[in-house]
Structure 1
Amino acid sequence: MVDNVILYRAPSTVADVDEVGDWLEARIDAAVTVRDRFLDVHRTETLAERFAEARVSSPYERDTGNTMLGIVRYEERALENPEREGGVLYDGLQVQRALNSALLAAERGLETLHVPILDRAIGTWGDHDGRWHKRVNVLGQPALVSVPGLYEAPAKPDAYYKEQQRHALLSGDTPPREVLENQVEGEFLIEDDPRTTDALCGYVLQAYHYLETGESFCERETCRLYNAHYHEELIDAQLRDPQFCTAHARLYE
């Protein structure tokens, strides 16, 4: 049984983790506290190298990691100045193991759930198609929730990718994501979206629900516990009423 949930702020993002904590505490029996950035609170001497080992080098290569001195130095700078980090995908399971080992032994038990809100993109390897997939969260201890993943992991509307291909054919290059987002109509979240905090609430609840019940996700698309694969689904599940399916409403409303 989860008695305590500890959320960790992501100061380089627009996510208001204190607001997420208030939302969560009103719905669960566990005590909820909010701490500063996980990578500051639980910094270890080997953390930069562990992140270097978790770097994904190619979307289609299972092996990860580059521990050359320059890469480790980059990761050290990213720990000190998180606003300078970006454009790197990390193996979420490797990062999870690294952060678990950084926890204090007294807080590592499953009665205390740690949820770092991260400013880094994380992914998991898909054995079914031989490629990496970006994720919003990786459940377990600690449960990772990625703010960039909220914008980048779910697939955008078809019009987005058609416009991307059209630009590539005309110019020979892919335009910046920001340009496409401004040109394509459709419902999807963009970087620094004002709906970020609200959308993250459901993903944090998924982390608690998994550790408390063993159930990973809900199959109903209109429930906060649904694992959305498309932005339209994410918006339906996280930003529209009802917040929960009938079964999970009994637990969390």
Structure 2
Amino acid sequence: MVERVTLYRAPTTVADVDAIADWLAARIEAGVEVRDRFLDLYADDELADAFAAARVLSPYERETGNTMLGIVRYEQRALDHPERAGGVIYDGLQVQRSLGERLPADERGLDHLHVPVLDRVLGTWGDHDGRWHKRVNVLGQPALVSVPGLYEAPAKPEQYYKEQQKHAMVAGDSPPREVLESEVEGEFLVEDDPRTTEALKGYVLQAYHYLETGEGFCEESGCRLANPHRQPGVVAAQLQGTAFCPAHAERYRP
């Protein structure tokens, strides 16, 4: 049984982890606390190497890692100045193992869930199609929640990509994000979206639910424990409707 949940802030993002913690605490029996950025609290001399080793090199290659000196130095700068980092996908399971090894020794039990909210893009390898897939969260201990993953992992409406391709054919590059947002109908989240905090609440609860019950994502599309693969589904599950399917509403109604 999970008795404690510790969330870690992501100060370079718009995610309000303290607000997420308050929402979570009203719905579960475990105690909930918030600490500062995980990568500040538990960084050591090998953490930059660990991130370099977890780098995804190609969308279609299972092998990960580039530990050349320049890459390791980049990862160290990304740890020290996270606002300058970006454009890299990391193997979520490798990062999960690396961060788990850095938890305090007396806090590694499954009765104390740790949830670092990260400003890194995480992915998992799909054996079924031979490619990497970006993820919003990686469940387990610790459970990782990726803020940029919220914007990038679930696919946007088809019209978004059509407009992007059309602009690229005419202008030779992708249009500014703001242009696409104004031209595409449909609900989707974008970088620094003011709805980020609200949307992430469900993904943090998924981490607790998995460790507490052993159950994966909910099959009901409108439930906050669902894992939609498209942005309109994320909006429907996390920002609209009744919040939970009947079964999970009974468990998590505040």
TM-score of the pair, normalised by structure 2: 0.97
- Name the counterpart of 2:102: 102
> Displacement, 1:169?
2.0
- How many residues are matched? 253
2:39 and 2:174 map into 1 onto residues whose CA distance is: 33
Specify the SS of the correspondent of 1:123: strand
Aligned to 1:10: 10
Cα offset for 1:170?
Answer: 1.8
Q: State the distance in 2 between where 1:78 and 1:16 align.
A: 21
Per the alignment, residue 148 of structure 2 pairs with: 148
Q: Give the whole-Å Cα distance in 2 for the aligned partners of 1:176 and 1:75.
A: 27
Q: Structure 1 residues 134, 24: CA separation in 2 closer, same or farther (over 3 Å shift)? A: same
Residue 37 (structure 2) aligns with: 37
Whether 1:248 aligns to 2:248 is yes
Measure how far apart 1:178 and its partner are: 4.3
Is the partner of 2:28 in helix, strand or coil?
coil
Q: Distance in 2 between matches of 1:181 and 1:97?
A: 37
Instruction: Write out aligned runs for 1:1-253 (5 A).
Output: 1-253=1-253
Per the TM alignment, residue 104 of structure 1 is displaced from its structure 2 partner at its CA by: 1.1
The structural deviation recorded for 1:179 is: 3.6
Partner AA of 2:198 in structure 1: D
CA distance in 2, matches of 1:197, 1:236: 15
Q: Deviations over 1:163-190 (max 9, x none)?
A: 1121222233333444423332221001
Between stretches 52-61 and 172-181, larger displacement belongs to: 172-181
Deviations 1:167-222 (A, max 9, x none): 22223333344442333222100111110000000000000000000001100011
Cα RMSD for the two superposed structures: 1.0
Distance 1:43 1:159 in 2: 42
Gaps of 5+ in 2: none
Percent of pairs with identical residues: 72
AA in 1 matched with 2:130? G
